[in-house]
Structure 1
Protein backbone atom coordinates (compact mmCIF):
# COMPACT_ATOMS: atom_id res chain seq x y z
CA UNK A 1 0.00 0.00 0.00
CA UNK A 2 1.46 3.32 -1.08
CA UNK A 3 1.66 6.54 0.93
CA UNK A 4 -0.82 8.10 -1.52
CA UNK A 5 -3.36 5.35 -0.82
CA UNK A 6 -3.00 5.81 2.95
CA UNK A 7 -3.39 9.58 2.56
CA UNK A 8 -6.53 9.11 0.46
CA UNK A 9 -7.99 6.73 3.06
CA UNK A 10 -7.35 9.29 5.80
CA UNK A 11 -8.78 12.22 3.80
CA UNK A 12 -11.83 10.19 2.85
CA UNK A 13 -12.50 9.34 6.50
CA UNK A 14 -12.24 13.04 7.39
CA UNK A 15 -14.64 14.03 4.61
CA UNK A 16 -17.00 11.29 5.77
CA UNK A 17 -16.79 12.74 9.28
CA UNK A 18 -18.52 15.95 8.17
CA UNK A 19 -22.07 15.40 9.41
CA UNK A 20 -24.34 17.28 7.05
CA UNK A 21 -27.40 16.41 9.15
CA UNK A 22 -26.00 18.16 12.22
CA UNK A 23 -24.74 21.16 10.24
CA UNK A 24 -27.97 21.57 8.26
CA UNK A 25 -30.06 21.26 11.41
CA UNK A 26 -27.97 24.02 12.98
CA UNK A 27 -28.46 26.17 9.88
CA UNK A 28 -32.24 25.67 9.96
CA UNK A 29 -32.35 25.95 13.78
CA UNK A 30 -33.78 22.45 14.18
CA UNK A 31 -31.58 21.38 17.07
CA UNK A 32 -29.38 18.28 17.20
CA UNK A 33 -30.89 15.40 15.16
CA UNK A 34 -29.09 12.95 17.45
CA UNK A 35 -31.33 14.08 20.32
CA UNK A 36 -34.64 14.18 18.43
CA UNK A 37 -36.85 11.94 16.34
CA UNK A 38 -35.13 8.64 15.66
CA UNK A 39 -31.85 10.03 17.00
CA UNK A 40 -30.11 9.30 13.70
CA UNK A 41 -28.23 12.15 11.98
CA UNK A 42 -29.46 11.31 8.51
CA UNK A 43 -31.80 12.57 5.81
CA UNK A 44 -34.87 10.62 6.95
CA UNK A 45 -34.71 11.99 10.48
CA UNK A 46 -34.08 15.52 9.18
CA UNK A 47 -37.16 15.07 6.97
CA UNK A 48 -39.18 14.34 10.10
CA UNK A 49 -37.71 17.31 11.95
CA UNK A 50 -37.64 20.01 9.29
CA UNK A 51 -39.33 18.88 6.09
CA UNK A 52 -38.16 18.34 2.55
CA UNK A 53 -35.68 21.17 1.92
CA UNK A 54 -33.18 20.47 4.74
CA UNK A 55 -33.56 16.73 4.09
CA UNK A 56 -32.62 17.22 0.42
CA UNK A 57 -29.50 19.16 1.43
CA UNK A 58 -28.48 16.37 3.81
CA UNK A 59 -29.17 13.60 1.31
CA UNK A 60 -27.24 15.35 -1.47
CA UNK A 61 -24.16 16.00 0.66
CA UNK A 62 -24.16 12.49 2.14
CA UNK A 63 -24.31 10.92 -1.33
CA UNK A 64 -21.55 13.19 -2.64
CA UNK A 65 -19.16 12.44 0.22
CA UNK A 66 -19.29 8.83 -0.92
CA UNK A 67 -19.16 9.48 -4.66
CA UNK A 68 -16.49 12.20 -4.88
CA UNK A 69 -13.68 10.36 -3.00
CA UNK A 70 -14.23 7.19 -5.05
CA UNK A 71 -14.23 9.07 -8.36
CA UNK A 72 -11.18 11.12 -7.35
CA UNK A 73 -9.33 7.98 -6.26
CA UNK A 74 -10.11 6.35 -9.60
CA UNK A 75 -8.55 9.26 -11.50
CA UNK A 76 -5.55 9.15 -9.17
CA UNK A 77 -4.95 5.58 -10.31
CA UNK A 78 -5.92 3.50 -7.27
CA UNK A 79 -6.49 -0.19 -7.91
CA UNK A 80 -10.07 -1.56 -7.76
CA UNK A 81 -9.67 -3.16 -4.34
CA UNK A 82 -8.33 0.10 -2.88
CA UNK A 83 -11.16 2.04 -4.52
CA UNK A 84 -13.59 -0.20 -2.74
CA UNK A 85 -11.97 0.46 0.62
CA UNK A 86 -12.09 4.20 -0.06
CA UNK A 87 -15.86 3.65 -0.03
CA UNK A 88 -15.57 1.83 3.29
CA UNK A 89 -13.59 4.72 4.80
CA UNK A 90 -16.22 7.24 3.69
CA UNK A 91 -18.91 5.20 5.43
CA UNK A 92 -16.82 4.71 8.57
CA UNK A 93 -16.36 8.48 8.72
CA UNK A 94 -20.11 8.97 8.50
CA UNK A 95 -20.81 6.32 11.14
CA UNK A 96 -18.03 7.40 13.52
CA UNK A 97 -17.31 11.09 12.73
CA UNK A 98 -14.14 12.49 14.24
CA UNK A 99 -15.65 15.98 14.39
CA UNK A 100 -18.83 14.99 16.24
CA UNK A 101 -17.72 12.72 19.05
CA UNK A 102 -17.77 9.57 16.90
CA UNK A 103 -21.59 9.64 17.05
CA UNK A 104 -22.81 9.40 13.47
CA UNK A 105 -25.45 7.99 11.18
CA UNK A 106 -26.24 4.76 9.37
CA UNK A 107 -24.32 5.68 6.16
CA UNK A 108 -26.96 4.40 3.75
CA UNK A 109 -26.81 7.49 1.50
CA UNK A 110 -23.00 7.62 1.71
CA UNK A 111 -22.72 3.94 0.80
CA UNK A 112 -25.05 4.50 -2.14
CA UNK A 113 -22.91 7.43 -3.25
CA UNK A 114 -19.77 5.31 -2.98
CA UNK A 115 -21.34 2.51 -5.01
CA UNK A 116 -22.62 4.93 -7.67
CA UNK A 117 -19.29 5.03 -9.58
CA UNK A 118 -19.46 1.23 -9.97
CA UNK A 119 -22.26 1.70 -12.46
CA UNK A 120 -25.62 3.36 -12.97
CA UNK A 121 -27.20 -0.06 -13.51
CA UNK A 122 -26.23 -1.18 -10.01
CA UNK A 123 -27.33 2.14 -8.52
CA UNK A 124 -30.68 1.93 -10.30
CA UNK A 125 -31.34 -1.59 -9.00
CA UNK A 126 -30.60 -0.48 -5.43
CA UNK A 127 -32.89 2.56 -5.77
CA UNK A 128 -35.71 0.44 -7.20
CA UNK A 129 -35.29 -2.09 -4.39
CA UNK A 130 -35.45 0.64 -1.75
CA UNK A 131 -38.50 2.27 -3.36
CA UNK A 132 -40.42 -1.00 -3.67
CA UNK A 133 -39.85 -1.99 -0.04
CA UNK A 134 -40.54 1.55 1.20
CA UNK A 135 -43.78 1.75 -0.81
CA UNK A 136 -44.97 -1.63 0.39
CA UNK A 137 -44.07 -1.23 4.06
CA UNK A 138 -43.66 2.55 4.64
CA UNK A 139 -40.53 1.78 6.66
CA UNK A 140 -37.43 3.66 5.49
CA UNK A 141 -35.18 1.58 7.75
CA UNK A 142 -36.53 -1.73 6.44
CA UNK A 143 -36.12 -0.53 2.85
CA UNK A 144 -32.50 0.39 3.59
CA UNK A 145 -31.79 -2.92 5.32
CA UNK A 146 -33.24 -4.95 2.44
CA UNK A 147 -31.45 -2.89 -0.24
CA UNK A 148 -28.02 -3.03 1.42
CA UNK A 149 -28.44 -6.72 2.24
CA UNK A 150 -29.05 -7.46 -1.44
CA UNK A 151 -26.27 -5.11 -2.62
CA UNK A 152 -23.49 -7.76 -2.50
CA UNK A 153 -25.63 -10.12 -4.59
CA UNK A 154 -26.44 -7.44 -7.16
CA UNK A 155 -22.76 -6.44 -7.23
CA UNK A 156 -21.72 -10.07 -7.77
CA UNK A 157 -24.03 -10.22 -10.80
CA UNK A 158 -22.81 -6.96 -12.34
CA UNK A 159 -19.34 -6.17 -10.91
CA UNK A 160 -18.07 -9.35 -9.23
CA UNK A 161 -14.61 -7.90 -8.45
CA UNK A 162 -16.24 -5.50 -5.97
CA UNK A 163 -18.46 -8.05 -4.21
CA UNK A 164 -16.29 -8.49 -1.11
CA UNK A 165 -15.86 -4.79 -0.22
CA UNK A 166 -19.56 -4.17 -0.91
CA UNK A 167 -20.35 -7.07 1.43
CA UNK A 168 -18.25 -5.36 4.12
CA UNK A 169 -20.20 -2.14 3.57
CA UNK A 170 -23.49 -4.02 3.79
CA UNK A 171 -22.49 -5.74 7.02
CA UNK A 172 -21.46 -2.43 8.61
CA UNK A 173 -24.73 -0.78 7.66
CA UNK A 174 -26.92 -3.66 8.81
CA UNK A 175 -25.10 -3.70 12.16
CA UNK A 176 -25.72 0.06 12.47
CA UNK A 177 -29.42 -0.68 12.02
CA UNK A 178 -29.59 -3.09 14.96
CA UNK A 179 -31.84 -0.76 16.98
CA UNK A 180 -34.13 -0.33 13.99
CA UNK A 181 -34.29 -4.11 13.57
CA UNK A 182 -35.31 -4.51 17.20
CA UNK A 183 -38.01 -1.84 16.85
CA UNK A 184 -39.26 -3.43 13.63
CA UNK A 185 -39.57 -6.81 15.35
CA UNK A 186 -41.46 -5.17 18.22
CA UNK A 187 -43.67 -3.12 15.92
CA UNK A 188 -42.36 0.19 17.29
CA UNK A 189 -40.47 1.55 14.29
CA UNK A 190 -41.65 4.90 12.88
CA UNK A 191 -43.05 4.86 9.37
CA UNK A 192 -42.16 7.30 6.61
CA UNK A 193 -45.75 8.52 6.39
CA UNK A 194 -46.19 8.78 10.13
CA UNK A 195 -47.45 12.02 11.68
CA UNK A 196 -45.13 15.01 11.11
CA UNK A 197 -42.77 13.62 8.48
CA UNK A 198 -43.66 16.31 5.96
CA UNK A 199 -43.83 19.81 7.35
Structure 2
Protein backbone atom coordinates (compact mmCIF):
# COMPACT_ATOMS: atom_id res chain seq x y z
CA UNK A 1 0.00 0.00 0.00
CA UNK A 2 2.77 2.45 0.91
CA UNK A 3 4.67 1.74 -2.30
CA UNK A 4 1.54 2.35 -4.37
CA UNK A 5 0.92 5.62 -2.52
CA UNK A 6 4.48 6.81 -3.15
CA UNK A 7 4.36 5.79 -6.81
CA UNK A 8 1.03 7.59 -7.26
CA UNK A 9 2.48 10.68 -5.56
CA UNK A 10 5.49 10.63 -7.88
CA UNK A 11 3.26 10.29 -10.96
CA UNK A 12 1.01 13.15 -9.76
CA UNK A 13 4.11 15.30 -9.44
CA UNK A 14 4.81 14.73 -13.15
CA UNK A 15 1.91 17.01 -14.11
CA UNK A 16 3.42 20.42 -14.85
CA UNK A 17 0.69 23.03 -15.46
CA UNK A 18 3.18 25.59 -16.80
CA UNK A 19 3.79 23.32 -19.79
CA UNK A 20 0.05 23.18 -20.47
CA UNK A 21 -0.20 26.98 -20.43
CA UNK A 22 2.71 27.09 -22.86
CA UNK A 23 0.99 24.66 -25.24
CA UNK A 24 -2.23 26.72 -25.18
CA UNK A 25 -0.41 29.99 -25.79
CA UNK A 26 1.93 28.55 -28.39
CA UNK A 27 5.07 29.48 -26.43
CA UNK A 28 7.34 26.85 -24.89
CA UNK A 29 8.11 27.85 -21.32
CA UNK A 30 11.37 25.91 -21.53
CA UNK A 31 12.57 28.39 -24.17
CA UNK A 32 11.53 31.53 -22.29
CA UNK A 33 12.55 33.25 -19.08
CA UNK A 34 14.64 30.93 -16.94
CA UNK A 35 13.32 27.91 -18.87
CA UNK A 36 11.94 26.42 -15.66
CA UNK A 37 8.38 25.01 -15.83
CA UNK A 38 7.44 26.34 -12.40
CA UNK A 39 5.17 29.09 -11.06
CA UNK A 40 7.74 31.86 -10.92
CA UNK A 41 8.84 31.46 -14.52
CA UNK A 42 5.23 31.00 -15.65
CA UNK A 43 4.49 34.37 -14.10
CA UNK A 44 7.53 35.90 -15.74
CA UNK A 45 6.61 34.53 -19.18
CA UNK A 46 2.79 34.45 -19.16
CA UNK A 47 1.78 36.98 -16.47
CA UNK A 48 0.41 37.11 -12.93
CA UNK A 49 -2.65 34.95 -13.61
CA UNK A 50 -0.39 32.19 -14.89
CA UNK A 51 1.78 32.47 -11.77
CA UNK A 52 -1.26 32.10 -9.49
CA UNK A 53 -2.69 29.22 -11.53
CA UNK A 54 0.58 27.27 -11.67
CA UNK A 55 1.37 27.97 -8.01
CA UNK A 56 -2.05 26.72 -6.88
CA UNK A 57 -1.89 23.56 -9.00
CA UNK A 58 1.68 22.77 -7.93
CA UNK A 59 0.84 23.45 -4.26
CA UNK A 60 -2.30 21.36 -4.69
CA UNK A 61 -0.21 18.39 -5.83
CA UNK A 62 1.78 18.52 -2.61
CA UNK A 63 -1.34 18.99 -0.49
CA UNK A 64 -3.15 16.12 -2.21
CA UNK A 65 -0.21 13.73 -1.81
CA UNK A 66 0.09 14.45 1.92
CA UNK A 67 -3.68 14.34 2.41
CA UNK A 68 -3.83 10.94 0.69
CA UNK A 69 -1.07 9.63 2.97
CA UNK A 70 -2.84 11.07 6.01
CA UNK A 71 -6.13 9.47 4.97
CA UNK A 72 -4.72 6.08 4.03
CA UNK A 73 -2.04 5.64 6.67
CA UNK A 74 -1.84 8.54 9.09
CA UNK A 75 1.80 8.13 10.10
CA UNK A 76 3.89 11.30 9.87
CA UNK A 77 6.77 9.46 8.18
CA UNK A 78 4.49 8.23 5.37
CA UNK A 79 3.08 11.73 4.90
CA UNK A 80 6.59 13.15 4.54
CA UNK A 81 7.63 10.33 2.22
CA UNK A 82 4.59 11.10 0.07
CA UNK A 83 5.57 14.77 0.00
CA UNK A 84 9.10 13.80 -1.01
CA UNK A 85 7.73 11.55 -3.77
CA UNK A 86 5.44 14.21 -5.26
CA UNK A 87 8.29 16.74 -5.11
CA UNK A 88 10.62 14.29 -6.88
CA UNK A 89 7.93 13.81 -9.53
CA UNK A 90 7.65 17.57 -9.94
CA UNK A 91 11.41 18.19 -10.04
CA UNK A 92 12.38 15.08 -12.03
CA UNK A 93 9.31 13.99 -14.02
CA UNK A 94 9.89 10.85 -16.02
CA UNK A 95 7.32 11.92 -18.63
CA UNK A 96 9.30 15.13 -19.29
CA UNK A 97 12.76 13.55 -19.44
CA UNK A 98 13.44 14.42 -15.80
CA UNK A 99 13.28 18.19 -16.50
CA UNK A 100 10.78 19.74 -14.11
CA UNK A 101 10.28 22.57 -11.69
CA UNK A 102 12.11 23.32 -8.47
CA UNK A 103 9.49 22.07 -6.02
CA UNK A 104 8.89 25.12 -3.80
CA UNK A 105 5.13 25.43 -4.39
CA UNK A 106 4.67 21.67 -4.06
CA UNK A 107 6.60 21.77 -0.78
CA UNK A 108 4.45 24.60 0.59
CA UNK A 109 1.20 22.85 -0.32
CA UNK A 110 2.32 19.61 1.29
CA UNK A 111 3.59 21.32 4.41
CA UNK A 112 0.25 23.10 4.87
CA UNK A 113 -1.46 19.72 5.16
CA UNK A 114 1.33 17.95 7.06
CA UNK A 115 1.81 20.57 9.78
CA UNK A 116 1.09 24.24 9.03
CA UNK A 117 2.89 25.22 12.25
CA UNK A 118 6.17 24.39 10.47
CA UNK A 119 5.60 27.39 8.20
CA UNK A 120 6.21 29.70 11.18
CA UNK A 121 9.95 28.97 11.57
CA UNK A 122 10.31 29.27 7.79
CA UNK A 123 8.68 32.71 7.86
CA UNK A 124 10.85 33.77 10.79
CA UNK A 125 13.95 32.45 9.02
CA UNK A 126 12.98 34.40 5.92
CA UNK A 127 12.52 37.58 7.97
CA UNK A 128 16.04 37.20 9.35
CA UNK A 129 17.73 36.09 6.10
CA UNK A 130 16.14 38.42 3.55
CA UNK A 131 17.79 41.63 4.84
CA UNK A 132 21.15 39.84 4.75
CA UNK A 133 20.97 38.21 1.30
CA UNK A 134 18.49 40.62 -0.38
CA UNK A 135 17.25 37.86 -2.67
CA UNK A 136 13.70 36.54 -2.24
CA UNK A 137 14.31 33.04 -3.60
CA UNK A 138 17.58 32.49 -1.75
CA UNK A 139 16.14 33.68 1.57
CA UNK A 140 13.00 31.57 1.07
CA UNK A 141 14.89 28.38 0.25
CA UNK A 142 17.53 28.81 2.93
CA UNK A 143 14.83 29.44 5.55
CA UNK A 144 13.39 25.96 4.94
CA UNK A 145 16.36 24.63 6.93
CA UNK A 146 14.58 25.83 10.07
CA UNK A 147 12.10 22.94 9.90
CA UNK A 148 14.85 20.42 10.67
CA UNK A 149 15.26 21.29 14.39
CA UNK A 150 11.47 21.70 14.64
CA UNK A 151 10.92 18.20 13.24
CA UNK A 152 13.54 16.84 15.61
CA UNK A 153 11.65 18.42 18.49
CA UNK A 154 8.13 17.45 17.34
CA UNK A 155 8.74 14.04 15.72
CA UNK A 156 11.08 11.07 15.77
CA UNK A 157 14.43 10.77 14.05
CA UNK A 158 12.83 9.01 11.06
CA UNK A 159 10.62 12.01 10.28
CA UNK A 160 13.51 14.39 10.88
CA UNK A 161 15.70 12.53 8.38
CA UNK A 162 12.93 12.54 5.75
CA UNK A 163 12.43 16.28 6.33
CA UNK A 164 16.18 16.75 5.95
CA UNK A 165 16.01 14.95 2.60
CA UNK A 166 13.14 17.19 1.45
CA UNK A 167 15.06 20.33 2.42
CA UNK A 168 18.17 18.97 0.70
CA UNK A 169 16.11 18.46 -2.47
CA UNK A 170 14.93 22.08 -2.34
CA UNK A 171 18.47 23.33 -1.80
CA UNK A 172 19.70 21.17 -4.68
CA UNK A 173 17.03 22.30 -7.14
CA UNK A 174 17.66 25.93 -6.19
CA UNK A 175 21.44 25.67 -6.19
CA UNK A 176 21.82 28.08 -9.12
CA UNK A 177 19.73 30.69 -7.29
CA UNK A 178 21.89 30.25 -4.21
CA UNK A 179 25.14 30.47 -6.19
CA UNK A 180 23.91 33.55 -8.05
CA UNK A 181 23.09 35.20 -4.73
CA UNK A 182 26.52 34.32 -3.37
CA UNK A 183 28.19 35.67 -6.50
CA UNK A 184 26.24 38.94 -6.37
CA UNK A 185 27.04 39.42 -2.72
CA UNK A 186 30.75 38.97 -3.38
CA UNK A 187 30.79 41.47 -6.26
CA UNK A 188 29.17 44.23 -4.22
Tell me the TM-score normalized by structure 2. Answer: 0.85
**1-side partners of 2:167 and 2:177: how far apart?**
15
Paired position in structure 2 for 1:89: 85
Paired position in structure 2 for 1:26: 23
Mark the runs of 5 or more structure 2 residues left unpaired by the alignment. none
The answer (yes or no) to whether the contact 2:133–2:181 under 8 Å persists in 1 is no
Shift of 1:96: 0.6
The answer (yes or no) to whether the contact 1:130–1:143 under 8 Å persists in 2 is yes
Asked if residue 49 in structure 1 is aligned to residue 51 in structure 2, the reply is no
Higher helix share: 2
RMSD value over aligned CA atoms? 2.3
Which residue, 11, 14, 29 being the options, matches 2:8?
11
Tell me the TM-score normalized by structure 1. Answer: 0.81
**2-side partners of 1:43 and 1:143: how far apart?**
17
Q: How many aligned positions are there?
A: 184
The answer (yes or no) to whether the contact 1:149–1:174 under 8 Å persists in 2 is no
**2-side partners of 1:168 and 1:118: how far apart?**
16
Asked if residue 175 in structure 1 is aligned to residue 172 in structure 2, the reply is yes
Shift of 1:126: 2.6
Asked if residue 185 in structure 1 is aligned to residue 182 in structure 2, the reply is yes
Mark the runs of 5 or more structure 1 residues left unpaired by the alignment. 189-199
Q: How does 1:14-163 map to 2 (within 5 A)?
A: 14-27=11-24, 29=25, 31-127=27-123, 129-130=125-126, 133=129, 139-159=135-155, 162-163=159-160
Shift of 1:49: 1.2
